[in-house]
Amino acid sequence: MGLCGSAATQRRAAYHRPVAVHDRVYRREMTAPRTLPASQLRLLVSKLASHLRTVLVALLWSVSALLVAGLFAFKAGQTSGAPELPTLGTIPQLVMRDQTAATVTGREFRGRISIVDFFFTSCPVMCPRLAARMAELKERLEARQQTSKKHIQLVSISVDPETDTPERLRDYAVRYKAEPSSWSFLTGEPGDLHRIVVDGFKTEYKKSDSSLGIAEIMHGNWFILVDAGGQIRGYYLADMPAEIERLTLDAQALAN
C-alpha cells in the first residue's frame, strides 16, 4: 500500500506539474509591462509636449485677454462713473400736460434721469399695480438719492388722453402721494400716442374694439430708464422684484 500510494502520489504530482508551471509562466507573460520601442516613445513624448504647449499658450492668451478687458472696464468705470448700459434709442419729441395742467416737453427730460411707464386712470388691474410699484420705487430712490448728482424723476404717461384730463391725473396722483416735482402724470393728444409710445419709447400700445369683449386699451408693463441726454438705457419688468432692484441700481449709477 505504501508503494502504491507513493507511486500514485508521484503520478498525480507529475500530472499536475506542467499545468502549474505553465500557469506561472502565463501569469508572468500577462503581467509583465509592455515596453515601447525607443523611437515610438520619443514620438509620443514629443506629441504630448506639443499638445501641452498649445494648451498653455491658449490659456495664457485667455487670461491676458480677461485682464486687459477688466482693465479697460475699470478705467471706463472710473472715467464715466456710469454702468455699461446699452443705448436703445432716443426719446421722441413731445408736448404734453401734467397733473397741474403745466406744459411738459422733451426739454424736461434733459439733465435728469427719468423712469417712464404707461397707464390710464380707468384701467382696473394692471395700472394700479404699476402705480403701486412706481410708488415703491420712489421710496427706494428717495432713501438712496442723498448723494446723487442728478435728479431722478418718475414719469407716467396716459394712453387714454380722451379721458385722462389734467384734473383726473391730479386725483390719480393724490391717490399715490405723488408730488409733481418728483413724479409727473402726463396726458397729450390722441393722434400723438402711436408716435410717442410705439415709435419713440418702443413699447406696446393698441386700442381695440370694446364690443369684442376684450380690453379696449392694451399697453406694456415696463419701466423704461432714460438718461440725462434723453437716451433710452433699459427696460425693466414692473412685476419682478429683481428687475426693480436692478433698475434702482442702474438709475443711481446713471445719476452719479
**Digit-coded pLDDT (tens) for 56-103:** 544 443 344 334 334 434 444 444 444 589 999 999 999 999 999 999
Statement to judge: residues 125 and 64 lie in one domain = no
- Angle between the N-to-C axes of helices 126-144 and 241-255, in degrees from 0 to 180, rounded to the nearest 10: 40
Statement to judge: residues 137 and 183 lie in one domain = yes
Per the domain annotation, does 18 fall within a domain? no
User: What pLDDT does residue 158 have?
Assistant: 97
Whether the Cβ atoms of residue 186 and residue 156 lie closer than 8 Å to each other? yes
Residue ranges of the chain whose pLDDT lies below 50: 1-32, 51, 54-55, 57-82
Statement to judge: residues 159 and 219 lie in one domain = yes
User: What pLDDT does residue 216 have?
Assistant: 83
Global confidence as pTM? 0.66
Statement to judge: residues 74 and 124 lie in one domain = no
Statement to judge: residues 108 and 222 lie in one domain = yes
Per the domain annotation, does 30 fall within a domain? no
User: What pLDDT does residue 207 have?
Assistant: 85
Which tens digits make up the pLDDT trace of 204-215?
A: 998 876 665 555
List the grid coordinates of 4.
502504491
Per the domain annotation, does 247 fall within a domain? yes
User: What pLDDT does residue 54 have?
Assistant: 46
For the beta carbon of residue 90, count every other beta carbon within 10 angstroms.
Answer: 13
Count of structural domains within the chain = 2
User: What pLDDT does residue 211 have?
Assistant: 63
Statement to judge: residues 63 and 96 lie in one domain = no
Give the structural domain span for 195: 89-255
DSSP string, 52-83: HHHHHHHHHHHHHHHHHHHHHHHHHHHHH-S-
